[in-house]
Chain A
């Protein structure tokens, strides 16, 4: 469920569909995931999981799998 919610957040924020192999996405490897889109992605993830990310985690969120790891940390702390 968490993975699906995260995938939806990626699709919504980056304007992409599942053809992009979302679970293996990495920052700056597709045109849609640039520095501007990254902040949209952060906002989308925060809304989807009702969390507030620290700046260090925003910088560290360099891939879908890293995003999963970071989100899991916040959900565990909640």
Chain B
């Protein structure tokens, strides 16, 4: 489905990003994988050794790092076809107890980084015939969550960016987002067992999502199967109301 297309995936070393990388590789994509954890990236590259994989260790919260990243990517390819803005952080705290630094860090990683990364990426996507950008938002963006005002705000802002970008970049580049529910990844370790059970019980499937169930929807949005879809948010949350 993605044969010979260059796909840039951030937060690729773990969870949804990792699963997405594996699925994209099996579907023929040339992978450009970005994450902070070098060991995990190397391990993933080794796991995918029969596929086309380039890895980049990068902290995306610094714009200079993002620029350096694209200088390196340009040594490999002049065109990027797919961008999956997956890297993100989550930290829980009640509204009245959320520190200014927590809010800033959350927005630096969850909004500023994908914003700036996409600014650079779009300049390399304009000549692609299959250009697709996917933002990984969250069900919290539209539904909110107790103790998640900072995270929900940052993921909600991402949706505003997605909608605007879709209008600016049409018809050349499609821009969409998905809003996963609670997914079984390292990221939910900040949640208590009671919270996990509560979220699982809210799903109409009475369980949490697995990373591959999210990755398959990302693949759909990256591929030509969704070529008439742009400016869209797809909820992948098991029907949580």
What is A's interface to B at a CB cutoff of 8 Å?
36, 39-40, 42-43, 46-47, 50, 52, 54-55
Contact A55 B124, beta carbon cutoff 8 Å: no
Contact A43 B123, beta carbon cutoff 8 Å: yes
**C-alpha gap A47/B70 in the complex (Å):** 12
Report if B119 contacts A (CB, 8 A): yes
Contact B122 A39, beta carbon cutoff 8 Å: yes
Contact B124 A43, beta carbon cutoff 8 Å: yes
Contact with A along B40-77 (1 / 0, CB 8 A): 00000000000000000000000000010011001000
Residues of B within 8 A of A42 (CB): 123
Report if B199 contacts A (CB, 8 A): no
Looking across the interface, which residue of chain B has its beta carbon closest to that of A35?
Answer: B168
What is B's interface to A at a CB cutoff of 8 Å?
67, 70-71, 74, 78, 119-120, 122-124, 126-127, 168
A39, A40, A52, A54: residue with the most chain B Cβ atoms closer than 10 Å = A52
Out of A36, A39, A50, A54, name the residue touching B123 (CB < 8 Å). A39
- When A36-B168, A47-B78 are in contact, do A52 and B122 touch as well, CB less than 8 Å? no
Contact B74 A43, beta carbon cutoff 8 Å: no
**C-alpha gap A36/B122 in the complex (Å):** 12
Contact A52 B126, beta carbon cutoff 8 Å: no
Residues of A within 8 A of B120 (CB): 52
Residues of A within 8 A of B67 (CB): 52, 54
Query: Contacts A42-B123, A55-B119 given; 6 further ones with Cβ under 8 A?
Result: A36-B168, A43-B124, A43-B127, A46-B123, A50-B74, A52-B70
Looking across the interface, which residue of chain A has its beta carbon closest to that of B126?
Answer: A43
Residues of A within 8 A of B123 (CB): 39, 42-43, 46
**C-alpha gap A36/B169 in the complex (Å):** 8
B120, B123, B126, B168: residue with the most chain A Cβ atoms closer than 10 Å = B123
